[in-house]
A and B are shown apart, each in its own frame.
Chain A
Amino acid sequence: MKKRIIFYNRTGFTTLLNREIHRFMKVPVQTVLAPLISNMLYLAIFGGMLQTRQVGIDGVNYLHFLVPGLASMGAVFAAFQNPAFSIISQKFQNTIQDLNSYPISNAEKILAFVFGGVFRGVLVGLLTYAATIFFVGYEIEYPVLFVLSLTATSFVFASLGLICGLIFDNFEKMNFVLAIVITPLAYLGGVFFEISKLPGLLAAIKYINPIYPLVNVTRFAFIGVYEGNIQVQIIITVVLILGSFLSASYIFKKGIGIKTV
């Protein structure tokens, strides 16, 4: 009987996923501790400086406002970097073509890379939360939604990281995307302040910034307060998940970056 092509080789899929997780767990200082320390510094500096000012959502303690933003931002970067770095380093090591020799379906390969990124993103997000417990307490308004939201954020950016890994052939280009695209989007995505409070046209950034709804949903899950229309933002989150994953699937199946035409 012909096997289903989507889930063709479960052991192959779990091995590939384990490798993607194992790869970053072998260097935890760079992959987990460094972003955690950055987030703690953000919390100490911005939190300390801005706590007494009118920043964030009215009536909400600024540290409470900041923690879900930092957790989301940590998840964004970690999830993006994991598949992007993995694919580009395989190109660099001349092992990328090994991927074509495995009897693992494209869907399984894509999911393994994306889930590897999701694992790292959620881990960094949750560790950021865990590290801030001493400052803001452990209470989360909707804990399950908080984890789901970090997962969704990580899923979107792991898919985008996979796309970048496939398209680009060196670390410089990946770092360019991180520095020129992802970082500004994160800073203008409502991580540190309420976007609506920006003057004039800058406030409109939230309509084109994919990080904004993801941060806002995570913040809603954390403190139960939100900016804008949360239902619309949840719908946008679902659209982002589908859109990024389908785009990654299309590029992977076309063989861009891994097959020669």
Chain B
Amino acid sequence: MLEISNLSKTYQRGNKEALKNISLKIEEGEFTALLGQNGAGKSTLINILAGNVKKTQGIVKIGQYSIDKNELETKKIIGIVPQDTGYDFVFTVDEALKNQSGYFGIKNNDDYIDELLEALYLKDKRNARLRDLSGGMRRRFLIAKALVHQPKILILDEPTAGVDIEMRHTLYEFLIKLHQSGTTIILTTHYLEEAEILCDRIVIIDDGKIVADEPKEQLMDSFSDEVRIELHFDYELNLADFEFLKGYDLKIEEKTSLKLKVPKKDLSKVFRMLTEKNLEFTNIFVEKPKLEEIYLKLISH
């Protein structure tokens, strides 16, 4: 669906190398998170796909079309939700979405516009001017705008920045449904739990290079050589009683809860030791590292 080979970008102004020979292939139906710090190269990549930035070298194919040879065909395949919530002062939501349909050669798109407005909770704002919408509404409007031509690939550049928690979860539900209906989605975000909830593939860009590109579970597993265990007891604990677990970063919290970090290979050994000591815990939680920790490990310089 999207194929990028040896893509580089050096901005003429400041001679800044934003992308360094990256390659990436995204298959139809994938939900990919594109993560990276500010200035890592995510927005440059998205802007190249959108046609806003001219690449320095490399090949980009959207669908079966090259952006060099069939740029206009590629426009029909992607929908882009930009980071900036720029809007036209003059038009209403309805007018802007009808115009957007027209730019893509679509006439009489009212039914689909209705569906989008309904799904994004904007139906009662149909005749409101864009300048009168709140920040969250504008973000949802931008998603509707990117979808009026029913693109096969939707690229969202930090779509939930500045959106309240409730509306963020509404957007998650919308994106999940959209993905289930077959749309390939690429999401950039600084909320890593968002990527963890929604995406099935994680691509991390750092300093213009791809430093990780794996299915989410695989990436999480590959960094899960250590797990966090939390044991709950129904009596007060004393750290001295757990001397035998020294070396596993022991901590007692709220007097009755014991936390420790255990390498996967030692899991059986730790549980054997606990059983031998006849320690009766009332609850147990085993936690893998979060995407956030993996991300920080990968981009630490």
Contacts and interface: CB of A to CB of B under 8 A. Distances in A.
A146 to B, nearest CB: 32
Interface in A72-124: 89-90, 93-95, 97, 100-105
A259 B73 contact: no
B105 A103 contact: yes
A101 B54 CA distance: 13
Contact of B102 (A12, A23, A100): A12
B103 A12 contact: yes
B186 interface: no
A233 to B, nearest CB: 38
Contacts of A104: 72, 103
Contact of A101 (B80, B90, B95, B107): B80
Contacts of A10: 105
Contact of B87 (A12, A93, A259): A93
User: Which interface class (under 10, 10 to 19, 20 to 34, 35 or more) fits A?
Assistant: 20 to 34
A12 B104 CA distance: 6
B12 A261 contact: yes
A250 to B, nearest CB: 16
Contacts of A261: 11-12, 53-54
A95 B88 contact: yes
A103 B84 contact: no
B22 to A, nearest CB: 18
Contacts of A259: 51-54
A9 B53 contact: no
A15 B149 CA distance: 14
Given A95-B86, A97-B82, A102-B75, A260 B103 contact: no
Interface string A14-38: 1110110011001100000000000
A9 B76 CA distance: 11
23 contacts: A9-B105, A10-B105, A11-B102, A11-B105, A12-B102, A15-B99, A16-B102, A22-B90, A26-B90, A95-B87, A97-B50, A97-B52, A101-B75, A102-B104, A103-B73, A103-B75, A103-B105, A259-B51, A259-B53, A259-B54, A260-B52, A260-B54, A261-B12
Interface of A: 5, 8-12, 14-16, 18-19, 22-23, 26-27, 89-90, 93-95, 97, 100-105, 255, 258-261
Given A5-B72, A11-B102, A103-B104, A260 B53 contact: yes
B285 interface: no
Which of A5, A26, A102, A259 gathers most chain B CB within 10 Å? A102
A27 B95 CA distance: 16
A19 B12 CA distance: 33
A134 B81 CA distance: 54
Interface string B55-91: 0000000000000000011011010101011111110
Interface string B30-47: 000000000000000001
Nearest to B82: A97
B208 to A, nearest CB: 16
Given A100-B52, A103-B72, A103-B75, A15 B88 contact: no
Chain B interface main SS type: loop
A255 B76 CA distance: 20
Contacts of B105: 9-12, 103
Contacts of B106: 11
A190 to B, nearest CB: 36
Contacts of B82: 97
Given A23-B90, A93-B89, A101 B51 contact: yes
B80 to A, nearest CB: 6
Nearest to B73: A103
Contact of A15 (B12, B75, B89, B103): B103
A103 B76 contact: yes
Contacts of B53: 259-261
Contacts of A22: 90, 95
A102 B103 contact: yes
Contacts of B75: 101-103
Highest count of chain A CB atoms <10 Å: which of B52, B54, B76, B80? B52
Contacts of A8: 72
Given A102-B75, A260-B11, 18 more contacts: A9-B72, A11-B102, A11-B105, A11-B106, A12-B103, A16-B102, A19-B99, A93-B86, A95-B86, A100-B52, A101-B50, A101-B75, A101-B78, A102-B104, A103-B73, A103-B75, A259-B52, A259-B54
What 4 pairs across the A-B complex have the smallest Cβ distances? A15-B102, A94-B86, A103-B75, A100-B51
A25 to B, nearest CB: 10
A227 to B, nearest CB: 42
B82 to A, nearest CB: 7
